[in-house]
Amino acid sequence: MHMKRILGILLALCFLMSVTAAAVSAEPVKIGQKDDKNFGQKDDKNFGQKDDHRGDFNKRHYHPGHWEKHREGHREYRNNHWVVVYKVITVYKNAYWSYN
């Protein structure tokens, strides 16, 4: 009985700490203000950077699923020296989109 009470108090304490942490880290709500005043303008300082692909839909390339040959190798000790033994295997690559 005493152990259940202690576990209940610890559970309630953990819950209150998590709610407090969530409340502290939350941003204030801006009512009636819009952040999209510069939406769609090209003079934005971050517009067109390489790591941002939001406007590059015409530059995307689709690579359908296909089989490729890969060369795998490992080292073996033969005749008192190390040799590299290669093996050609066939691997299936799934379809993907790229920006290259």
Segment 47-78, tens digit of pLDDT:
555 555 556 566 788 899 999 999 999 999 99
> Is residue 61 in a domain?
no
97: containing domain: 67-100
* DSSP at 81: E
- Say if CB 85 and CB 76 are below 8 A apart: yes
Segment 15-46, tens digit of pLDDT:
888 888 777 777 665 665 555 554 555 555 55
The confidence band for 82, taking pLDDT boundaries of 50, 70 and 90, is very high
10-36 burial: b if 16+ Cβ within 10 Å, else e: eeeeeeeeeeeeeeeeeeeeeeeeeee
pTM of whole model > 0.85?
no
Domains of the chain: total: 1
- Say if CB 98 and CB 60 are below 8 A apart: yes
> Is residue 80 in a domain?
yes
